[in-house]
Structure 1
Amino acid sequence: MKAFGKILGLVLLGLLLIIVALGFALTHLFDPNDYKDEIRQIARDKAHIELTLNGDIGWSLFPWLGLELHDASVATMVKPTEPYAALQMLGLSVRVLPLLRREVQMSDVRVEGLNLRLTRDKEGHGNWEDIGKLPATAGTDATGTPPAATEPAPETGAAAEKPPQPIRLDIDSLTVNNARVEYTDERTGKSFSAESIQLSTGAVHDSVNIPLKLTAFLSANQPALRVRTELNGELRIARALQRYQFEDMRLSGEVTGDPLQGKAVTFSAQGQLVLDKAANVAEWTGIKVSANQLRALGELKVNDLDKTPQVSGGISIAQFDLAKFVDSIGQKLPAMAEGSLSKVELVSRLAATPTSLALDDLNLKVDDSTFSGRIAVEDFAKQSLRAVLKADTFNVDRYLPPKSAEANSATQVRQAEVASTEADALAGAGSTPLPPAPTKDAWSSERLLPVERLSKLDVDADLTFGQLTLQKLPIHNAALKATGQGGLLTLANLRGDLYEGNFETTGTLDVRQPVPALNLQTKISRVPAEKILESQGKNPPVKGLVTLNSNLTGNGNSQKALIETLNGNASFVINNGVLLNANLEQQLCKGIATLNRKTLSGEPRGKDTPFQELKGNLTLRNGVASNPDLKVRIPGMAVNGDGDIDLRVLGMDYRVGIIVEGDTSAMPDPACQVGDKFVGIEWPLRCRGPLELGAKACRVDNERMSQVAAKLAGERISEKIDEKLGDKVNPQLKDALKGLFKR
């Protein structure tokens, strides 16, 4: 037995030596470089590609079937002189015996200097579309020989054959060095590339974690962008289950380019990726994403990969400074108050499709405000925005752009003019000349609305606020409902509690035409007028609870244009108010003293005039409001007025009459005691000047005062006639004499 074993061993050793010798002879005596032309012809005939082999072909036979290609390129048969792929070296080897068992066991696979060029011409045709195609030459193939006759397909057996089992893949490692992929679109002039591609893996086995590292530089030309990337993780491929996992995925890099205005974005992403093609599901769990100051966590799941993908998941963005983040990526936010958007954080569930995105169960914190609800973009192409949000508090003014230098300058000039006129009025207690009518525009001509953006807006918003600050007005329990589509924006409702009262506004803004058109209806109920004016930085000329109903229209895209085209009507009532520093009593006293031919002993200053009610109706025509029925109820007297308010320059011009209704109590000056003879007389005033002055711009109307004097003189003569003639004269003659003197 020992001899037999020894003999068998010697035989096997001999066979092995023979096989090695044959392999050595084949690999050293057979040179594949001598058959390059035949190899190229086989590539043309079988694969319909143009293979160029400029370098040497190295090979080995046993136990590894090895191959090395140097300086090779591949082109299509349609454009054989324009290679779409080239490489400096490809090296791989396969074990021979496992191939017989349909197993591929490979050693290290190395690719050096791969260069892949993909182009789409001006007609939209891509060069990769010609791979495997013959040139359009009738009746001949690339070699000029007629194509072989098509052999009839063999008949299918009665029983279908079993599908072949997938080839088992087994590679020691895969290495790609200095590869480059380039895509160019001649129609648009855009190009994209991935350069310096470095790929290395560990052993590649089915259903086993494969360590992987990939680095590359990505770039684009429109706009100019450059991205440095590095990808690490462990790839697991289960081909039988059609399941692919990328565990402990870590992607990092840096982005620079024109859109970033010289800035750079450093980014990273981590998590576990799973693609299950059998179930048409993909997942990304354990998400950790960062971009400069931004940090986010979350999870995503995609269903229906074979149809319209449906994305669901959740996202959490930690508190960060949005203003600094935007600046760090080379962008600019609209001008707003310093410190705005410095604290922003978000938690939400999300749902998305390729054309939509919805954030549900949203909790958004912006500075001192907290929002909850839902935000959705129903159609990216149409920018269809839907929002249902509830906020505890929100200060709109904080995020509005400040006034321009032009507007600030105009405001300062007007304030100076008003202050000077007001000082003169108070110093003279109404004895100074009537203030001149304002002539300077009070409104800005700067562009007010982004018409182009609004014309494309598709929005449906339903917002509520515990407290909303707008134009410095503290609005409680505010609610806003608005829609916009096709250039027509509709304010369905804006309402809230303002101080002790409330307000409600509806309207439309039409930007479908060259000049925007505004239509606004407003209802204000018992809101303190002085607090509204004080919030705008103005000294109120009046106090009281204002109730206002208005229906106004205007056209234009600036404050000035809207005011100059303002038309409509309004009615107003102010209850339980005070005309501040109006001193109507002093004006009345001055008129009475004039008729009494007496001089006032003093000049009282700054006396307020309380009233029970101030009301009227306004008709607006191109920025000028006509008020024919101004009425003020003051204890002991009534005030009637008729005039205009020129909103274009914020000026007024009124003729006012004060009527003593029977209160003959002592006046503040002996020279103007009322007495019974002055009861029922309408004492004329003229009020002209800046609207901010209110009643401080009123003076005795000397022109109409002469008419009052003539009337009083006629009444005194009538009294004398009655006293002298008594009943001795015919009544008709007596009336005629009275009428003569009253004219």
Structure 2
Amino acid sequence: MKAFGKILGLGLLGLLLIIVALGFALTHLFDPNDYKDEIRQLAREKAHVELTLNGDIGWSLFPWLGLELHEASIATLNNPKVPFADLQMLGLSVRVLPLLRREVQMSDVRVEGLNLTLTRDANGHGNWEDIGKPLPEPSVAGNPASSPAEAPGSAPAPAQAQTSERSVKLDIDSLTVNNARVLYTDEKAGQSYGAESIQLSTGPVHEGANIPLKASAFLSASQPNLKARTELTGELRFDRKLKRYNLEDMRLSGETSGEPLAGKTLTFVAQGQVLVDLGANVASWSGLKVSANQLRALGELNLRDLDKAPQVSGGLSIAQFDLRTFLDGIGHPLPATADPAVFKKLELVTRLEGSPNSLALEDLAVKLDDSTFSGRVAVEDFAKQALRIRLKGDTFNADRYLPAKSEQAKGASAARQAEVKQQEATAVAGAGSTPLPNAPTQVAWSTDKLLPVDRLRALDLQADLGFGALTLDKLPISDAQLNASGQGGLLTLQTLRGSLYNGTFEAKGTVDVRPAVPQLGINTKINRVPVEHFIKGESPDQQPPVKGLLTLNSDLTATGNSQKALVDTLNGNASFSINDGVLVNANLEQQLCQAIATLNRKQLSGEPRGKDTPFQELRGSLVIRNGVASNPDLKARIPGLTVNGHGDLDLRVLGMDYNVGVVVEGDQRAMPDPACQVNERYVGVEVPLRCRGPLELGAKACRLDQDGLGKVAAKLAGNRLKDKIDQKLEEKLGDKVSPELKDALKGLFKR
């Protein structure tokens, strides 16, 4: 028995030596390079591809089935002279005996210089779609070629053999790809994408185990021109039966530049755990960390319905960063703003919901500079730019974010302020002995563009905004509410309302950018808001000309895309009243006392005792035509005075030209000036004033109308003569005639 075992062992050893000898003979005496033509023909018949072998074929048989190809390329049978893939070298080897157990045990797999060229032609056909397809059978005259299954007498194709449910087990020591290149061209879209200098290396490849992975490449796109350097590291785990793929400790980093970045560079890093489950059609990215220049973000993303229209959900948190610097660093600088310090601080936290054509930021919390917002922002349709905004803010100063004034606008404003100051210097309040100010000539408005017309024409907007405190045009609005919509170039302001200095206001309007020149319409209602906040000058020390509680209703239209154009084309109607007011630094009483003294042919003996003139009400209506507002019915109620007037407000230069008539009771003070006493013949006499100059001067621009005053004096002289005649008649007639006759005789002198 022992001898039998020894003989069996020697026999097996001999058999092994014979197998080794046969393997040696095959690998050394059999050269596969002598059979290249047969290999090409086999590739055509079985794989239906055109295989070109320009280099040598190296191989080994046992214990490794090794193969090494050099200078090989593959093309489709339809286009055999244009390869879609070629490589410099492919080297791999497989253990022979494990193959019998359906196990693939491979040593290092190396691919050098792989070039993959994918093309979609003008008809939308891709060259990869013909891979593995045989050439069509030639047609027989009068009878199209039939497939073998359709040929007469041919047996039906046997059913595909049932394969073993046991999958092939992979066991690869490593995979290395050096200097590979992939190019995709879409002739119909005129677009191309490329990945060059592709480097890929892995550790041992075992299913169900973590596989160390490292890859890098240079990516590019043609329209627009964009280039990127990328590097990917992580550990890959996969389960082919469950169709689950995990990329753990994933880190994608690199930098990109090109036309979208205007020559600037974006450096980026993305990290996290990535899972793709094709069996459940879901994917996730947990532990997400992203950095892009100054921006830092954390979050997670989840995808579902991968086989249909993928839906995304998750959360995102962006740490505080400098938005202005970030956008400037990627070639998209923000336009200059009135306050250059805005957009310096931005941070947000939100919940994401999206689809291939939409994205919503739900439960959004944003901090922008000194303001905090919460609500929802969504793009419901990327193609239509359907923007939906619902936000509530605590405080927001909109003036800081408005476009900065151009040098032209600054120059125009400075020129007008200089004109106003010059007029104000000569407009001495009080006696009114200075000349009437000249009408202003400097334009008060900027020609800078106001609206991004092209963007507004494409905008689909619905906005619902609320603010605890909103500053707009230097006006502090509390409990502000704004509702607006826009579609097809027509923007509608449903309402803008709030509280303002213990009063209220509301505005509605439209902006139509469909025509070549934008058209605006606005309706405003202001109720008991201090008027001085609307008309105060740009200089902090400049006093408003009038104070009081303003109530205003207006319905206006205009066309244009600048302040000047809108004011020049302003048309509409308005009505206003100012209650419990004061004409600031304008002693109207002194002006009128000067007029009475002139009529009395006396000089005022005292100095002016006050600078302001209080009034109970100032009201009127306006008819506006091309920037000029006509006011035919100005009325004011001042204690001891009745004021009526009419004139024009030239809104283009912010100037006024008024004729005002004042009926005065005289000096009502405890110790009146003798020259300012009104006797009976002055009762009901209207003293004329002329007001002309910049609006900022207010009543300081008013002077006695000397021509009108002369007419009043002539009228008073006629009344004095009439009174004397009446007195003489009374003395002569006495009680000799009836009262009716006396009145008839006096009436003769009235004609």
TM-score of the superposed pair, with normalisation by structure 1:
0.94
Q: Which moved more, 1:619-628 or 1:238-247?
A: 619-628
| Secondary structure of 2:359's aligned partner | strand
> Deviation at 1:736?
4.7
Distance change (3 Å), C-alpha of 1:257 and 1:312: same
- 2:676 maps to what in 1? 672
Alignment equivalent of 1:715, drawn from 706, 715, 719: 719
- 2:749 maps to what in 1? 738
Tell me the amino acid that sits aligned with residue 412 of structure 1. Answer: A
- 2:270 maps to what in 1? 269
> Deviation at 1:38?
1.2
Alignment equivalent of 2:386, drawn from 350, 369, 384: 384
Tell me the amino acid that sits aligned with residue 393 of structure 2. Answer: A
Q: Residue by residue, what CA displacement relative to the aligned partner does 1:229-268 show, whole Å, maximum 9, x if unpaired?
A: 1111111111111111111111111112233233222111
- 2:335 maps to what in 1? 334
**Aligned equivalents of 2:296 and 2:218: distance in 1?**
24
| Secondary structure of 2:592's aligned partner | helix
Q: Residue by residue, what CA displacement relative to the aligned partner does 1:639-678 show, whole Å, maximum 9, x if unpaired?
A: 1111111112211111101112587556864333223332
**Aligned equivalents of 2:745 and 2:376: distance in 1?**
86
Q: Residue by residue, what CA displacement relative to the aligned partner does 1:26-67 show, whole Å, maximum 9, x if unpaired?
A: 111111101111111222222232211100001111222111
Q: Residue by residue, what CA displacement relative to the aligned partner does 1:93-145 show, whole Å, maximum 9, x if unpaired?
A: 122222223222222111001011122334443322332345678449xxxxx
| Secondary structure of 2:428's aligned partner | helix
- 1:567 maps to what in 2? 571
**Aligned equivalents of 2:502 and 2:573: distance in 1?**
25
Aligned Cα root-mean-square deviation (Å): 2.3
Contact 1:426 1:606 in 2 (8 A): no
Distance change (3 Å), C-alpha of 1:47 and 1:118: same
**Aligned equivalents of 2:521 and 2:693: distance in 1?**
29
Alignment equivalent of 1:502, drawn from 501, 504, 523: 504
Distance change (3 Å), C-alpha of 1:605 and 1:441: farther
Q: Residue by residue, what CA displacement relative to the aligned partner does 1:551-590 show, whole Å, maximum 9, x if unpaired?
A: 1111111112211221111111111110012221122122
Distance change (3 Å), C-alpha of 1:666 and 1:591: farther
- 1:531 maps to what in 2? 533
| Secondary structure of 1:720's aligned partner | helix
- 1:419 maps to what in 2? 421
Contact 2:346 2:368 in 1 (8 A): yes
Distance change (3 Å), C-alpha of 1:383 and 1:148: closer
The 5 A counterparts of 1:119-138 are 119-133=119-133, 138=138
Contact 1:589 1:667 in 2 (8 A): no
- 1:41 maps to what in 2? 41
Contact 2:412 2:442 in 1 (8 A): no
> Deviation at 1:342?
1.5
Alignment equivalent of 1:693, drawn from 691, 697, 704: 697
**Aligned equivalents of 1:118 and 1:443: distance in 2?**
59
**Aligned equivalents of 1:714 and 1:587: distance in 2?**
24
Contact 1:664 1:675 in 2 (8 A): no
- 2:478 maps to what in 1? 476
Q: Is the counterpart of residue 10 in structure 1 residue 21 in structure 2?
A: no
> Deviation at 1:387?
1.1
- 1:169 maps to what in 2? 170
Contact 1:639 1:659 in 2 (8 A): yes
Contact 2:462 2:485 in 1 (8 A): yes
Distance change (3 Å), C-alpha of 1:4 and 1:467: same
> Deviation at 1:339?
2.1
The 5 A counterparts of 1:435-450 are 435-450=437-452
- 1:580 maps to what in 2? 584
> Deviation at 1:4?
2.2
Q: Is the counterpart of residue 652 in structure 1 residue 656 in structure 2?
A: yes
Tell me the amino acid that sits aligned with residue 684 of structure 1. Answer: P
Tell me the amino acid that sits aligned with residue 331 of structure 2. Answer: G
Q: Residue by residue, what CA displacement relative to the aligned partner does 1:523-549 show, whole Å, maximum 9, x if unpaired?
A: 111111112333754631001111111
**Aligned equivalents of 1:199 and 1:469: distance in 2?**
57
- 2:632 maps to what in 1? 628
**Aligned equivalents of 2:162 and 2:155: distance in 1?**
16
**Aligned equivalents of 1:523 and 1:148: distance in 2?**
83
Note the residue ranges of structure 1 that are not aligned, 5 or more in a row.
141-145
Between the two proteins, what is the percent identity of the paired residues?
A: 69
Contact 1:721 1:734 in 2 (8 A): no
Tell me the amino acid that sits aligned with residue 506 of structure 2. Answer: E
The 5 A counterparts of 1:358-397 are 358-397=360-399
Contact 2:537 2:696 in 1 (8 A): no
Contact 1:599 1:671 in 2 (8 A): yes
Q: Residue by residue, what CA displacement relative to the aligned partner does 1:124-178 show, whole Å, maximum 9, x if unpaired?
A: 43322332345678449xxxxx999557464667x99576443222212111011
| Secondary structure of 1:268's aligned partner | strand
Distance change (3 Å), C-alpha of 1:154 and 1:550: same
**Aligned equivalents of 1:487 and 1:25: distance in 2?**
83
**Aligned equivalents of 2:271 and 2:64: distance in 1?**
39
Q: Is the counterpart of residue 590 in structure 1 residue 601 in structure 2?
A: no
Q: Which moved more, 1:725-734 or 1:219-228?
A: 725-734
**Aligned equivalents of 1:353 and 1:186: distance in 2?**
28
- 1:317 maps to what in 2? 318
Contact 1:429 1:605 in 2 (8 A): no
**Aligned equivalents of 1:166 and 1:678: distance in 2?**
119
| Secondary structure of 2:594's aligned partner | helix
Q: Is the counterpart of residue 247 in structure 1 residue 225 in structure 2?
A: no
**Aligned equivalents of 1:400 and 1:681: distance in 2?**
52
- 1:612 maps to what in 2? 616
Tell me the amino acid that sits aligned with residue 509 of structure 1. Answer: V
